[in-house]
Amino acid sequence: MLAFLIKRTANAAFVMLAVALLAFVIFRFFGDPVEMMVNEQATQADRAELRERLGLNDSFVTQYTRFVTNAAQGDFGISYRNQQDVMVLIGERFPATFELVLVATVISLVVGIPLGVITAVHRNSRLANALQLGSIVGVSLPSFVVGILLILGFSVSLGWLPAFGRGETVDIGWWSTGLLTPSGRAALVLPALSLSTFQITLVMRLVRAEMLETLRSDYVKFARARGVPKARVHWVHALRNCLMPVITLTGMQIGNLIAFALVTETVFQWPGMGLLFIQAVTFVDIPVMAAYLMLVSFIFVLLNTLVDVTYAWVDPRLRDDAAKAGGANG
């Protein structure tokens, strides 16, 4: 287990170094940082002095090492656009994205799991076929189309829910939450729904596939033979055996959702990291772009590593060792 942990951590570190290299190359060679930072009146001497101070005359390796060292400490420099510390900017936007992704994840589980069970239990029924068809639409509709349709339906036509912004927020320490105010919650509904559409269908299809497998198992038949009511067999005995892969999928997908949130945040003008990134792209604000890239990659790698480690932890072979230690005999 320890060897595995070390190997997996080394793996993760290597991936992050590669991402850092990419981010660094973008940072260093897309436009001249000095030109971005100085104003027009700066003299040649000013520029040379700044170049020296920023260490831009050092060797590539030295600069890359410095970039990685700083990044590891959360230092991505100063935004070209508004001269603020990049990490502070991202920190301000992170709660909005996090709450959006969290609520989208909860929606995808609360809706996707029951749909998966229903389509598996009533396979071949008209309802199940309709849901299956719907799920194909769900995976194939681009997320921005879903967002625009939701805005058209619920804000423009019905006027029930706001179409943009985050509503009122409350600060808890450095964390600003929209979950505690009515307008904050209302503003969250459409973006979260839009972001979760794809995820709902993913969860539904996974649960359906797992359930079909589980429903064929002996312990499901045996539970029925014991007189356990059908509904309980399906929703308790069978479903519980399907949840492990769902948890894995959900964990892995959080990274994807954060990345996808970029589109949703743009459509709904949601003031999260994604929107910050899009604005940074418009202004060629390289440090913000590099920091966003690093942060999202870091979340991806972290989640993947955690899931892998959890998997090794619950590996049936490890369980079987425990069974032997339990000393069972015929």
Q: Are 188 and 182 in contact (CB under 8 A)?
A: no
- Tokens 């072979």 correspond to 317
Q: Does 319 bind another protein (CB under 8 A)?
A: yes
The residue within the footprint of another protein, chosen from 173, 226, 282, 314 (CB under 8 A), is 226
Q: Is 321 in the site for another protein (CB under 8 A)?
A: no
Question: Judged by CB under 8 A, which of 3, 158, 314, 322 binds another protein?
Answer: 322
Q: How far is CA 295 from CA 87, 180, 213, in A?
A: 10, 27, 38
- Residue 148 tokens, joined: 């625009």
- Closest by CA to 270, choosing from 176, 168, 186, 164, is 164
Q: Please provide the DSSP assignment of 39-90 as one string.
A: -TT--HHHHHHHHHHTTTTS-HHHHHHHHHHHHHTT---B-TTT--BHHHHH
**Stretch near another protein under the rule CB under 8 A, chosen from 22-30, 99-107, 172-180, 321-329:** 321-329
How many residues belong to the site for another protein (CB under 8 A)?
24
When the beta carbons of 173 and 330 are compared against another protein, the nearer one is 330
**Interface region with another protein, contact rule CB under 8 A, candidates 38-46, 67-75, 160-168, 318-326:** 318-326
CA–CA separation, 156 vs 163, rounded Å? 8
Q: Does 314 bind another protein (CB under 8 A)?
A: no
Task: Find the part of the chain contacting another protein (CB under 8 A) among 7-15, 23-31, 199-207, 219-227.
Answer: 219-227
Give 127 or 170: the residue with its C-beta nearer to another protein: 127
Window 229-258: residues binding another protein (CB under 8 A): 229-230, 237, 240-241
Q: In the complex with another protein, which residue's Cβ is closer, 3 or 319?
A: 319
Shortest reach from residue 245's CB to another protein, in Å: 13
Task: Report the relative pairing of strands 170-172 and 175-177 from DSSP bridges.
Answer: antiparallel
The residue from 5, 7, 221, 245 that contacts another protein (CB under 8 A) is 221
Q: Which of 159, 173, 182, 330 is in the footprint of another protein by CB under 8 A?
A: 330
225 is a contact residue toward another protein (CB under 8 A)? yes
Shortest reach from residue 314's CB to another protein, in Å:
11
Q: b/e for 209-221, b at 16 or more Cβ within 10 A?
A: ebbbebbeeeebe
- Comparing CB distances to another protein, the nearer of 7 and 240 is 240
Long-range pairs of 233-241 with CB within 8 A, sequence gap ≥ 24: 234/117, 234/121, 235/117, 238/117, 238/211, 238/214, 239/113, 239/117, 239/207, 239/211, 241/210, 241/214, 241/217
Give the binding site for another protein (CB under 8 A): 217-219, 221-230, 237, 240-241, 319-320, 322-323, 326, 328-330
